Amino acid sequence: MHVQALELSQYRNYRKLNVELDPNLNIFVGDNAQGKTNLIESIYLLATGRSHRTFRDTELIKWNAEDAQIKAQVNTRMGSFSMRVILARNRRKRFWIGGEELRRQSELLGFLNVVLFSPDDLQLVKGSPGMRRHFIDLGLAQVSRVYRHDLVNYNRVLQQRNSLLKDIAERKAKVDQLHLWDEQLVQYGSRIMYRRARAIERIADFAGASHRDISGGEEILTVHYRPFYLGDEESIDATRWLDAEQIAGDFAKMLQSSRSQELRRGTTLVGPQRDDILFRIDGKDVRQFASQGQQRTVVLAVKLAELEFMREEVGEYPILLLDDVLSELDFSRRTLFLETIGNKVQTLLTTTDKGNFQPDNLRHSRQYVISDGQLALEG
């Protein structure tokens, strides 16, 4: 799929922007604070419903403006359609697909798929487990309506169960009300875990292969699923987890055995909200020993794996957003990367220094200069 045209009004530092995008490689060059990340962010927001940088939508509206708008014309295997979001102060943001307004923001996912790689993503390796869950959840939610549905329901049940546990702890409710929520928690939770296990298995395959390519075959990257009930550095062999029923059985048992502790603490202590993903190089945990460069290579390999995974699920590649990350790679890796990706995936990449790229890399790309929220086509 690809974004054919993008239009921004009063978004961040853009007063008005109209741009036609190349279906392959688009390179945005600009000094610091000119609007490169803002542009990437606008596409991410159109795809996922929110910014990757802030939860506060009002920050996205140009200072002194009342509302902001992002519009795009998107081409996919299924056809061509327009997308639009309006952000207003003191009002919920609103989304349109092909002229029809969406009732809920959750209906947005799946129309325009993206994989984003920005400097913050280095945290994917070293950061908290929540970042890795967000990574797998967003990848899956974009490609699977069923997963979106299970995730929404799971979180709802979890919240309600937590508030019941709190009420029980404060003697405002009875313990025997709990089993209703337990059943649903296990039902949705085990489906989420099953799907995560399957997805991580695929991502592990792809990431291992692209890591081999990028690192010259000297190191072996493996990616593992660590469900909530295992220790910090344990992982499962996902191929042995054959069905969701088995997972449901395991989950139900864990719930039983942690009951008294949950009642004491007044909150849910088990479930996929405590899952994690482990990355290992040559069998060793990347969190503990990997250098900056190794971490960067792992994250790049994992992002590329997400790209392949999503293509496998959907039948076409998502859009790749690379915010200021390629310049960190050495020359040969960058060239290899642009050659393999640039021709098959619509890519929007930003850089402060075009000198990072060889004329050969740039031959089949469209290049723009961004300056103070204005865009100019190069050449």
Ligand X SMILES: Nc1ncnc2c1ncn2[C@@H]1O[C@H](COP(=O)(O)OP(=O)(O)OP(=O)(O)O)[C@@H](O)[C@H]1O
CA neighbours closer than 13 Å in the CB half-sphere of residue 129: 14
Choose the stretch contacting Mg ion; rule: CB under 5 A; options: 30-38, 262-270, 283-291, 370-378. Answer: 30-38
Burial of 191 (0-12, 13-18, 19+ CB in 10 A): buried
Q: Judged by CB under 6 A, does residue 33 bind ligand X?
A: yes
Residues near Mg ion (CB under 5 A), total? 2
Residues near ligand X (CB under 6 A), total? 16
State the nearest-atom distance from the C-beta of 300 to Mg ion, in Å. 18
* Binding mask of the shown chain, residues 274 to 303, with x at each position contacting ligand X by CB under 6 A: ------------------------------
59 binds, among Mg ion, ligand X, none (CB under 5 to 8 A by kind): ligand X
Q: Judged by CB under 6 A, does residue 35 bind ligand X?
A: yes
State the nearest-atom distance from the C-beta of 324 to Mg ion, in Å. 6
Q: Which of residues 350-379 bind ligand X (CB under 6 A)?
A: 352
Q: Judged by CB under 5 A, does residue 361 bind Mg ion?
A: no
**CA-based diameter of the chain, in Å?**
72
Q: Judged by CB under 6 A, does residue 34 bind ligand X?
A: yes
Nearby residues of 207 by Cβ (< 8 Å), 6 or more positions away: 221, 223, 298, 301, 302, 304, 305
Distances (CA, A) of 359 to 9, 323, 356, 375: 33, 20, 10, 21
Nearest-CA neighbor of 262 among 167, 146, 130, 359? 167
Q: Which of residues 37-96 bind ligand X (CB under 6 A)?
A: 37-38, 59, 61-63
Which of 236-242's residues contact partners 24+ apart within 8 Å by CB, and which partners?
A: 236/197, 238/197, 238/198, 238/200, 238/201, 239/201, 241/194, 241/197
Of the residues 37, 113, 215, 365, which one makes contact with Mg ion according to CB under 5 A = 37
Q: Judged by CB under 5 A, does residue 215 bind Mg ion?
A: no
Nearest-CA neighbor of 159 among 136, 185, 141, 138? 185
Choose the stretch contacting ligand X; rule: CB under 6 A; options: 34-42, 124-132, 286-294, 333-341. Answer: 34-42
Report the C-alpha gap between 357 and 250 in whole angstroms: 52
Residue 308 or 323 having the CB closest to ligand X: 323
Footprint of ligand X (CB under 6 A): 12-13, 30, 32-38, 59, 61-63, 324, 352
Footprint of Mg ion (CB under 5 A): 36-37
